[in-house]
Chains A and B, each alone.
Chain A
């Protein structure tokens, strides 16, 4: 620290110990951190601690290191040589859910999400990993998740497994016992998969649609609005949504049409790249972002609509993801145009006509990235309250992460389950029949939680879109 020179005073503000940047002893990870971390962002944290009451892992552990302020202090310490980036350091960075609830709580506007991504990127680069593990990670992240075609193929396999009696046989024979218990529990609460994808499904159902092509000759499926057209919107179909929640994607189009939107689904769209960016694969994430931004911009849409908070939030940050690349312009365009489906339905479309139904008590579990990054929390609740006969009963800590967080529940089962069990207590306390969420990861986690808490048959988890579509007149 150069400020340490001021130590000639009896009193000085610069009472920082240690800190020997760039010392020869700095290891691989420290060097990677020095390259990856944004020093100004680190410096911006004034350590007020306001983030802590919003942080799920701090609330469970009560440990400073497991809080945003603590993690930033660890990053800064590793960055400036105050500590070695050991396995505890890595573990702490991995324990973060990336829910980003700390960001709205931060008075100083520290871009925590960016810092944790940078730290993870450095860890991914600086860590020596066996070739096999590296290859497996690459194939999964870049070969499967990022490719809609391959992913839908996986969906077909999963569907076959679920439907053919293989799943029943596997359960009977107990072969699943080879899996860790939390994965077994999750497997049991998976919804039925599909390999069809929203475009084929829409056409298969014989619903109104036509093909257009953009100036590059790429195909766009265009679903006309019902009645007068309010706007032309591009639909981001998502990976998990398209395989595990295909009917939610179909319902999204139905709702948008009913509200007066023309819906465009560009065939050439890809995975948003959020999982890759969170896992420290930023170069690959940038490629996906560039492709998506170009495809949607060429589709000539007014808005890009997402029905998954996690994807929407990442699309919203394309300006940052693509900053300084040849696609920067497209990235900024997409960032300014992306909206959650609840924003469009609540604010700019024609009000939906919803039918009467049985009385229903519902509670809302915020999707973290929808709330903390897209800053959408009011609109889903407004839409819920428009459902005739529905009583919205807020749970405590609805804004606290449920522990799903992408693939966190698979990687950090203990913390994830601790958060989930707390969440289910709050759900139970509301006496709700339905938990409403707006993101596939949260939805899967809620289903797992309902099963864990023994609430099956009493409480249902549904996507906001499906709740509304069920009552659409």
Chain B
């Protein structure tokens, strides 16, 4: 529990509705969407303005109280699970859309604004904000920025990091900084904006963001291609890109996933298919149709057994819905679903999928793989039971080997979920000892007292798995 003077000062800043430390509140902010992590914080604060965030940080600095900032708590890296004695700062009351600037094509938002609600507002103005993490019905833009979220449209449009132009943030000592602005060009000093994107709440607390918008594409259409072998699907991905076509989404499902999805959704996917690609293109109607025709031709050429192009956009919705139901279908099979995001260069997709299948067999765990083939971002998903410690250990070891394999193929341990607590022990595998050391010095410069989200990003490094083949 927090000391009485701290509680009093927090309540002075926030009012009685803005500070809570009763049991049910502490329990309900003890977790995020990461399976099996749970620790009660000492208290929870709900700021409504930047000055409150700043004042809270001054109190926390004075009393050395660590702070975990969170939006919706939908991340999968335990990036917002607090530690004992820590304060959780919930940003969802700072949820206003401050401005859509149609001359500069920017939007200025508070961090607690829901991503989907933002999409709707922006599209009403005839504009488009492409980053679309799967959790967008609940997640917040602040959380997206803090963890550098991706989404289905990453291949063509990039991810959150490509849309943040400027930030307002509160430093651990309470100072408020502003970075970037409504500027396409700005090379004044270090790029602090980019540094804060993906920093996972360990450097500063984001209190406002200026985001880049693009014109809304007038038309979109989807198609699906079914394969009898994995390499055909993987070659199609490479050939499509080589033909200078960049679809907005290019999604992949392996056989295990296809079977489960078909069992669940009954959309007519062939259970003997080894892989499926679900592809969507947007733009001018004529161009979209031309692209999909060419993609169909390429897929057939690369050995697709079946290619189906939607005739109308609504039909395309069904195809994408089948892909989106993948996680839903998988999560019904076993009590615990662990979704990872090992990512490789897209030319290595087939190798990675085969490696995942081999590793799953080796550790005797059930892993289904689907993901964003276009950008090499795969979601190997383990179906397990958190109550079975022995099985959980095997899952753990399988994932370690998958990370190792991803790095060997020139990839990374996390494409879009972030490091948080889950990936911290593996960060050095990707960034190297000198890289992590530099990151720690950056952390030290921002947060000398170590108050912001301790235990995330950095941890004792796990020994690398010796891959025997």
A-side interface residues toward B, CB under 8 Å? 1-3, 5-6, 9-18, 40, 43-44, 46-50, 52-53, 62-65, 70, 73-74, 77, 82-84, 86, 88-89, 92, 107-109
Contact A84 B23 (CB under 8 A): yes
Question: Which of A16, A18, A88 contacts B36, CB < 8 Å?
Answer: A16
Q: Which of B99-107, B123-131, B249-257, B386-394 contacts A (4 or more CB under 8 A)?
A: B386-394
Which of B49-57, B277-285, B286-294, B419-427 is near enough to bind chain A?
Answer: B419-427
Evaluate contact between A49 and B73: CB separation under 8 angstroms: yes
The chain A residue with its CB closest to the CB of B92 is A62
Tell me how many residues of B have a C-beta within 8 Å of chain A.
60
The 6 tightest CB contacts between A and B, nearest first, are A107-B328, A65-B28, A11-B425, A64-B28, A108-B331, A43-B335
Within the assembled complex, what's the spacing in Å between the Cα atoms of A63 and B73? 12
Query: Are B22 and A88 closer than 8 Å at their CB atoms?
Result: yes
Residues B38 and A16 in contact, CB atoms below 8 Å apart: yes
Which residues in chain B, 11-58, are within 8 Å of chain A measured between CB atoms?
Answer: 22-25, 27-40, 46
B395 sits at the interface (CB 8 A): yes
Task: Please list 16 pairs of residues, one from A and one from B, whose beta carbons are closer than 8 Å in the complex, sorted by A's number.
Answer: A6-B393, A10-B425, A12-B396, A13-B37, A13-B396, A14-B389, A17-B39, A18-B40, A43-B386, A43-B387, A46-B337, A50-B135, A107-B325, A107-B328, A108-B328, A108-B337
Q: Is the CB of A73 within 8 A of B27?
A: yes
Is B377 in contact with chain A by the CB < 8 A criterion? no
Question: Given the complex, which residues of B lie within 8 Å of A53, measured CB to CB?
Answer: 114, 116, 137-138
Point out the residues of chain B lying under 8 angstroms from A63, CB to CB: 25, 28
Q: Contact: B84 with A17, CB < 8 Å?
A: yes
Question: B182 → chain A, closest Cβ, in Å?
Answer: 30
Q: With contacts A10-B460, A13-B338, A14-B36 known, is A92 near B24, CB below 8 A?
A: yes
Within the complex, what minimum Cβ distance (angstroms) separates B368 from chain A? 14
Please tell me if the beta carbons of B462 and A74 are within 8 angstroms of each other in the complex. Answer: no
Which residues of chain A are within 8 angstroms of B360 by Cβ–Cβ distance? none
B332 x A109 contact (CB < 8 A): yes
Contact partner of B392 (CB less than 8 A), chosen from A13, A17, A18, A70, is A13
Bits for B325-354, please: 1 = Cβ < 8 Å to A, else 0.
101100110011110000000000000000
Q: Are A17 and B40 in contact (CB under 8 A)?
A: yes
Q: Which residue of A lies closest to B137 (CB)?
A: A53
User: With A3-B392, A6-B392 given, is the CB distance from A50 to B138 under 8 Å?
Assistant: yes
Closest-by-CB residue of A relative to B114 is A53
B78 at the interface (CB under 8 A from A): yes
B6 at the interface (CB under 8 A from A): no
User: Closest chain B residue to A13 by CB distance?
Assistant: B36
Across-interface contacts of A108 in B (CB, < 8 A): 328, 331-332, 337
Bound Cα distance A130, B328 (Å): 45
CB nearest to B72 among chain A residues = A49
**CA–CA, A18 to B31, complex, Å?**
13
Shortest CB-to-CB span from B464 to chain A, Å, is 13
Contact indicator A88/B24 (Cβ below 8 Å): yes
A13 to B38, CA, bound (A): 10
Minimum CB–CB distance from A473 to chain B (whole Å) comes to 35
Contacting residues, chain B, for A11 (C-beta < 8 A):
396, 421-422, 424-426, 459, 462
- CB-CB under 8 A from A15, the residues of chain B are 36-39, 78, 81, 421
Cβ contacts under 8 Å, A89 to chain B: 23-24
